[in-house]
Structures are given as structure tokens and as C-alpha cells.
């Protein structure tokens, strides 16, 4: 009974994300529209980059009885409002469960965190496949009934590898790619297939220590804080729109091994948060920045 009630709740729950030029009355326009379509706003968050000449961003979560039957008409009716106010917008619905793929190399800590969150029901997605250039994670993944594909990768065969990965993404109908410490550089061709749908975890507090070996370089620099950054992947290495970051304090007593151990804990929680927020439609990408409605 509880499961049926939860499914019914999700079926009647919608989300609306809007970006448009800022001017008075936008919130009123949106709330009136939803009210006229028998919808009740249950959560609303907004942000203006500049109240006078800026861009307005808003995320609205709403409840509407028989939303599945009404959604097409709601979206059609919204087109006029969007055109009048120059809105970029997106409707999402609670019954739409995204399909995710996880890419991983040797280090399993971020993969294990995501699988744990998924098993707990705290990651609202179907993990449909895991792809790795190493075999280490196979037993863990397959023990959970998730398909595992081992695809050796290096710069000499990158084109063939990515062609196979793209084929698998289409075969499994993947919505989101999660790089859980996948230690291979993706080509512009691969990234272009999944714009703003690839989330990476980088083991440093960007923009510091871009690229390989950040913990070693942080140790040599004598940093007092180390961190991790989750971001969307673009063609610029480790420079895509940042979703979430966190740090921990360290000192001269910590060697590289200590930094990696502390850092792995940060990486796990930062990546999990970023993925959750993407799945919950809490992120709007604006240029090379993100607006994140927590």
C-alpha cells in the first residue's frame, strides 16, 4: 500500500525550471499559470543575477492530480507564456526515472558510494550499466545484477573504445553518464553526444591542480586544505560547469597517502550530491557556471 501511494505521489509531481530575462511579475505569471491548471506549488527557489538587467532563474516543484493525463496540455499552454517572456524552460515529471551509466577505473570508492546510495533508495535513478577499463569492479557490480562491460582503453585505441561506449549508451538508453574516477580523457566527439549529461569527480578543489596527480602536487605545495570538485564535462579538461565542491583541512603531518585517504571521502560525498541534484532537476547551466537550487 505504501509503495502504491509513493508511486501515485510521484506520478502527480512535476518540476518546472525556467531561465529568462529578469523583470517584475515573472513569479506571479508562473504561479498563476500553475494555479489555473489546478496545480499546487510545494517548493519554489529563485535567483536573479542582477535585479535590473539580469537573468532570472527559478525551479518550481508542484503537485497536480492526474498530471500524466494533463502534462501534454500543460506544456502546450505554456508555450505562449514562454514566447512572451523569452523563457528557456524544462518540464520534468516524478514518474520519469532517469537511466544512468557509471564509468570507473581502478579505484572503487566513488562507485561504491553511488551503489550504496542507489541500494538505499536515495539515488533516484536506474543504474543500467557499469563500464570500466579494468576488471576489479566486475564482481561487485554483477553481484547487484548490474551489467558490467570491460573495455580496455588507452590513447592509441581511443576512437574505437569511444565508438563502443557510445554504442552501449544507445543500447542501454542512458540519460546520464557518471565518471566515478574514470581515469581516461574523453574526446570532443564523445562529449558532444552527451552535452551537460556527463558528471565527473575531480580529486582537487578546482581550479587548483587541474589534470593528473593533484594530491602529489598538493603535497609538494604544502596546502592546508584539500578538496574535490564535481562538474559537468566539457572539451576543456577539468574546466566544465562546477556543480559541487567540498574541502577538509590537512597539515604538514599528512603525506600523499594521507591526503588521498582524506580526499577519497570528500570525493564520494561531493559526487553523490552532484548526481542527486542532477536527477532531481535542481541544476540550470548558464554558460560555464551552474545555478544549483539545493
The grid coordinates of residue 16 equal 518546472
Task: Give 3-state DSSP helix, strand, coil % of the chain, rounded to 5.
Answer: 35, 30, 35
Question: Are 230 and 199 in contact, with CB atoms under 8 Å apart?
Answer: yes
C-alpha distances out from residue 6 to 95, 282, 293, Å? 10, 21, 23
Q: Rounded CA gap, 2 and 22, in Å?
A: 42
The grid coordinates of residue 54 equal 539580469
Burial of 207 (0-12, 13-18, 19+ CB in 10 A): exposed
SS3 136: coil
Of the CA atoms within 13 Å of residue 225, those in its CB half-sphere come to 9
| Catalytic machinery residues | 238
C-alpha distances out from residue 276 to 17, 93, 267, Å? 16, 15, 14
Q: Rounded CA gap, 214 and 216, in Å?
A: 5
Bridge-based pairing state of the strands 39-48 and 55-64 = antiparallel
The radius of gyration of the chain from alpha carbons, rounded to an integer in Å, stands at: 21
Q: Rounded CA gap, 246 and 262, in Å?
A: 12
Amino acid at each position: 500500500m505504501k509503495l502504491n501511494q509513493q508511486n501515485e505521489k510521484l506520478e502527480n509531481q512535476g518540476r518546472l525550471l525556467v531561465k529568462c530575462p529578469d523583470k517584475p511579475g515573472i513569479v506571479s505569471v508562473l504561479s498563476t499559470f500553475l494555479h489555473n491548471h489546478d496545480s499546487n506549488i510545494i517548493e519554489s527557489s529563485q535567483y536573479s543575477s542582477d535585479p535590473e538587467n539580469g537573468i532570472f532563474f527559478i525551479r518550481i516543484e508542484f503537485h497536480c492530480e492526474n498530471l500524466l493525463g494533463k502534462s501534454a496540455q500543460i506544456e502546450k499552454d505554456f508555450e505562449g507564456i514562454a514566447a512572451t517572456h523569452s523563457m528557456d524552460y524544462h518540464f520534468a515529471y516524478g514518474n520519469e526515472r532517469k537511466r544512468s551509466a557509471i564509468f570507473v577505473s581502478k579505484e572503487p570508492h566513488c562507485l561504491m558510494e553511488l551503489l550504496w546510495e542507489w541500494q538505499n533508495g536515495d539515488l533516484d535513478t536506474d543504474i543500467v550499466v557499469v563500464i570500466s577499463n579494468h576488471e576489479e569492479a566486475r564482481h561487485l557490480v554483477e553481484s547487484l545484477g548490474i551489467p558490467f562491460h570491460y573495455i580496455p582503453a588507452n590513447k592509441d585505441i581511443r576512437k574505437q573504445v569511444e565508438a563502443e561506449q557510445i554504442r552501449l549508451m544507445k543500447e542501454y538508453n542512458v540519460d546520464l553518464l557518471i565518471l566515478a574516477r574514470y581515469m581516461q580523457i574523453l574526446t570532443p566527439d564523445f562529449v558532444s553526444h552527451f552535452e551537460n549529461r556527463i558528471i565527473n569527480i575531480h580529486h582537487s578543489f578546482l581550479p587548483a591542480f587541474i589534470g593528473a596527480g593533484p594530491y602529489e602536487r598538493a603535497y609538494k605545495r604544502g596546502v592546508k586544505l584539500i578538496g574535490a570538485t564535481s562538474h559537468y564535462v566539457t572539451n576543456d579538461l577539468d574546466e566544465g560547469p562546477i556543480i559541487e565542491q567540498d574541502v577538509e583541512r590537512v597539515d604538514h603531518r599528512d603525506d600523499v597517502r594521507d591526503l588521498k585517504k582524506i580526499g577519497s571521502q570528500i570525493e564520494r560525498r561531493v559526487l553523490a550530491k552532484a548526481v542527486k541534484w542532477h536527477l532531481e532537476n535542481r541544476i540550470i547551466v548558464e554558460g560555464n557556471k551552474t545555478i544549483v537550487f539545493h
